[in-house]
Amino acid sequence: MHGKTDSGDETGGPARADERYVNRELSWLAFNERVLAEASNPAYPVLERLRFLSISGSNLDEFMMIRVAGLVGQVQRKIRSTSIDGQTPSQQLAAIRERVLALHREQRRVWSQLRAELSGEGVFVADEERLGQPAYEWLRGYFHDEIMPVLTPQAIDPAHPFPFVANGGLGVLFNLRRDADGEAMDAMVLLPQALPRFVRVAGNDAIYISIESLVRRFAQHLFPGFAITGDCVFRVIRDSDIEIEEEAEDLVRTFRSAIQRRRRGQVIQLELEDALDPQASQLLREQLALRDALLVESEWLVGIAGLAGVVEEDRPDLKFPPYAPRYPERIMEHDGDCFSAIRAKDIVIHHPYESFEVVVDFLRQAAADPDVVAIKQTLYRAGNQSPVIAALIAAAEAGKSVTAVVEIKARFDEEQNLIWANQLERAGVQVIYGFVDWKTHAKVSMVVRREDGRLHTYCHFGTGNYHPTNARIYTDLSFFTADPAFGRDAARLFNFVTGYVEPRKTERLVIAPLAMREKLYALIDAEIAHARVGKPAAIWAKLNSLTDEGLIDRLYAASAAGVDIQLVVRGICSLRPAIPGLSDNIRVKSIIGRFLEHSRIWAFGGGYRLPSQRAKVYISSADGMGRNLDRRVETMLPVTNRTVHDQILQQVLVANLLDTEQSWLCHADGIYRRMEPGEHPFNLHRYFMTNPSLSGRGGAAEAAGVPKLALKRGAT
C-alpha cells in the first residue's frame, strides 16, 4: 500500500478514527437518503418524484447485493479488520441494518404519499378498486394469454423440493386446501423477471396492476380443485459480488462461470408482506437458509424499484419538460467535420447539455474515413444498444486496425460486455480484456489518421462511459485534442493495458495505479507550501466519492495549513468537514437533481487567485477512492488550453459551487442538510440547460454573467 508522506501526517484535531472519518457504508446510505428525499421535492412533477423513489429502491438493492453481502461474508469468515472509522464488520452490519430498515420505512411512507398524488392526477397504481367489469375482463384475458403460459406453479412437499429463487426473484406463496379431502398444501409461483412488473390496463384510464396482484387475482386458474386460504408475496436479494482469483487461466471462461454463481449466491435480504402467515414465514426462513439475512416487511408493495415501469406513463404534464441536448457549435462551424474542428483547437463537450452524438460521430467518421488507419478504444459500460460498438465494427470491416479494451469486470455489465466482445471479435476487432486484478476504468478513444504523408493522432478523453443512454442523464466532460503529446501518452496507455508495457514516463497523462496518487499528493502539497508562505492557496474538486484515507489525510493537512478547500462530492464522503483543528477550511456539499453529477474535476490555485490562467485544472476518470488510485487503470489529464481551462474552471466548477437549489451541505457530524436557496437561488442544471454551450467561442460565462469564484473562505 502507498504510505503517507510527512506533510500528509501534520494534522491536528481528534485522534479517534470515528471522529476523523465517516463510515463508507453509512455515508452511502446517507446519499441514498438524499436521493429518496427528492421523491418528496415539491419542485418536481409527480412522475419524476416516483422515478427518484424507484432509483432509491434499485440503489438499495445493489448496496445489499454487494456491500452488505461483503460484510456478511467477512463476519462469517471471522474477519475482524476495521473500516476507516474503526468499526469491525459486525459493528458495521448492526448500524447498517438499523439504517436500512429506517430507509425502507421512509420508502413506504413516500410511496403512500405519491400513490395518492398520482390518483389525483388520474394515474392509478396498485388500485384494484378502480377495476370495473370491462377492465376485469381485459385483465383475465391478458392473464390467460400473456401470463399463465409462462408460470409454473409448484407444490412444496417431500416429492417437490422447495424451488430455487434467483437473485431479485419475486414470488407468491399460496396456502391451499384440497376441495376433495380438505388436505392442506403449500405451493409457490415464481414470477419470471421477463414479465412486466406492472400491467397497464387497456383503456383511456391509466390503471396499473402489479404482476403479483394479477397472479393472486386469478390464482384459481392455476390451482383448480383447491381453495386458496392464504397467500403472500416475497422477494429475495442474494450476494452478487464476483470474486476472481488472480491465477485465473481463462478470464472469459472464469467470468461466465462466476456470472452463473452470482444468481445462486447466499440470501442477503428477504422482503415480504407484513401480513404473512407465521407458518409461511417460517417455511421461507428455513428453505431459503436465512443465516444472516435481513428480513424486511413491506406494506402494499414488495420491491420498490419496480415502480420504474410506471414512470414511463405517457403524461408529459407530470414529467420534467423535455430537453434536447445541443450539438456542439464548434463542430458545426467545421461543417460537421470532427477532425477539422479538433485539429483547429482543443474542445470540451459538457454532457448531457451537449449531445453525446458528437462522440459517436467522431468514431463514425473515423470508421468511414479512408485516411484513418487505426482506432483504439476502451469500453467499460457501453449499454445494450451501442452505436459506439457499431462504429468499431464498421471500422474493422472497412479494413482499419481496431483495438478494443473491453472490461468484462464492470459490475452487472459483465454479460453484456462479453456479448459485445464476441461481436467485435467476429468483425475482426482485436479485443483485449486487460488485467486480471485491475479494472480498466479509463475512458479513452484514439484515432490515428494519415495526413500529408504523416500519421496524426486524435484523442477523446472522458470522465464518463461510452454509454449513449447514460450520457443523456449523467453530467460528464468529453475532451477532444490533436495535441501530439496526448496522442503519444494515449498510445503508451494502450500499450500498458494490452501488453503490460509500463510507461517509464508520460508527457501529459497521469495514469493510475502507476502515478495518480503521488501526483495528487504533490499537487496538494504545493498548495500547502503556498499557504505556509502567505500566498493564496485553494483546492476545488468535484467527485462522485471520496473514501481514501491517505487522500483525506492529505486534505486535512492542507486545511490545517490554511488552504481553502471546496469539495462537491455527490455520493460517499468519508471526510468530515468543519472540525476544529482538523478540517476548519474544508467545505463539502452534495448535489442531487434532475441530472446525475458524474464528472471528476480537480483545480489547484497554484499560489494565485482563482480563476486564473495559472490555476492547475485536471479532469479524470477516477474518484477519490483506494480502488481508483491503486486497483484500476485510470487517467487524469491537465487542461492547458486557455479556452477549455476557463470553461471547466469558470463555468462547470463555479456553477457547482454556486448551486443552492439542489445542494446538501455536509456538517462536522457527517449529516447532510439541504442548503437554503438564499436571496439569489442558483440551479446548476437549469443554468446549463439555458446558457450557451461550452464548445462555443469560450465566452459563455461572461455573456451570462456567471459570478466568479473568490478565495475568501465560503464565498463565491
SS (H, E, C) 574-595: CECCCCCCCCCCEEEEEECCCC
Same domain, 91 and 186: no
Question: What was the pLDDT predicted at 581?
Answer: 93
Of 470, 499, 528, the domain-final residue: 499
Q: Which residues of 625-660 are buried (b: 16+ CB within 10 A; e: fewer)?
A: bbbbbbbbbbbbbbbebebbbbbbbbbbbbbbbbbb
Same domain, 487 and 593: no
How many domains does the chain fold into?
Answer: 4
Same domain, 539 and 483: no
Are 687 and 654 in contact, with CB atoms under 8 Å apart? no
CATH number where 285 lies:
3.30.1840.10
Are 577 and 568 in contact, with CB atoms under 8 Å apart? no
Kindly state the DSSP code that residue 506 receives in the 8-state scheme.
Answer: -
Nearest to 589 by CA among 564, 571, 609: 571
Q: Is residue 714 part of a domain?
A: no
Question: What was the pLDDT predicted at 8?
Answer: 44
Are 250 and 236 in contact, with CB atoms under 8 Å apart? no
**69-76 vs 89-120: helix crossing angle, rounded to 10:** 150
Which parts of 536-640 are beta strand (E)?
Answer: 538-543, 564-569, 586-591, 596-597, 600-604, 616-620, 632-638
Are 608 and 614 in contact, with CB atoms under 8 Å apart? yes
**Which domain does 477 fall in, by range?**
329-499
Distance CA(402)–CA(71), nearest Å, equals 41
Q: Is residue 685 part of a domain?
A: yes
CATH number where 64 lies:
1.20.58.310
Of 499, 523, 545, the domain-final residue: 499
State yes or no: is 441 an active-site residue. yes
Q: Is residue 322 part of a domain?
A: no
Question: What was the pLDDT predicted at 275?
Answer: 63
Same domain, 606 and 529: yes
Site of grid cell 408460470: 151
Q: Is residue 561 part of a domain?
A: yes
Cell representation of residue 606: 497554484
Q: Is residue 309 part of a domain?
A: no
Question: What was the pLDDT predicted at 486?
Answer: 98
Same domain, 416 and 475: yes
Full-model pTM: 0.91
Same domain, 492 and 528: no
Same domain, 494 and 550: no
Same domain, 689 and 633: yes
Same domain, 460 and 515: no
Same domain, 542 and 603: yes
Distance CA(270)–CA(389), nearest Å, equals 38
**46-63 vs 89-120: helix crossing angle, rounded to 10:** 160
Sheet of 184-191, strand order: 154-156, 184-191, 170-178, 226-238, 267-273, 294-298
Site of grid cell 503517507: 4
User: How many residues belong to the chain?
Assistant: 716
Q: Is residue 713 part of a domain?
A: no
SS3 496: helix
Kindly state the DSSP code that residue 144 receives in the 8-state scheme.
Answer: I
Cell representation of residue 230: 392464504
Mean pLDDT by runs of 10 across the 716 residues of the chain is 45 82 97 98 97 97 92 90 94 96 95 96 88 90 95 87 89 91 90 94 89 94 92 90 52 54 77 74 81 84 94 96 92 96 96 96 97 96 82 96 87 76 92 87 97 97 92 96 98 94 95 98 97 95 98 98 97 97 97 97 88 86 97 96 92 93 96 93 93 60 48 40
Question: What was the pLDDT predicted at 695?
Answer: 65
Q: Which of the residues 441, 467, 598, 645 is marked catalytic?
A: 441
Q: Which residue stretches of 305-351 are H helix? A: 308-311, 329-333, 338-344
CATH number where 354 lies:
3.30.870.10
Question: What was the pLDDT predicted at 256?
Answer: 54
Same domain, 362 and 437: yes
Q: Is residue 129 part of a domain?
A: no
Same domain, 265 and 411: no
Question: What was the pLDDT predicted at 264?
Answer: 64
Q: Is residue 128 part of a domain?
A: no
Of 303, 338, 371, the domain-final residue: 303
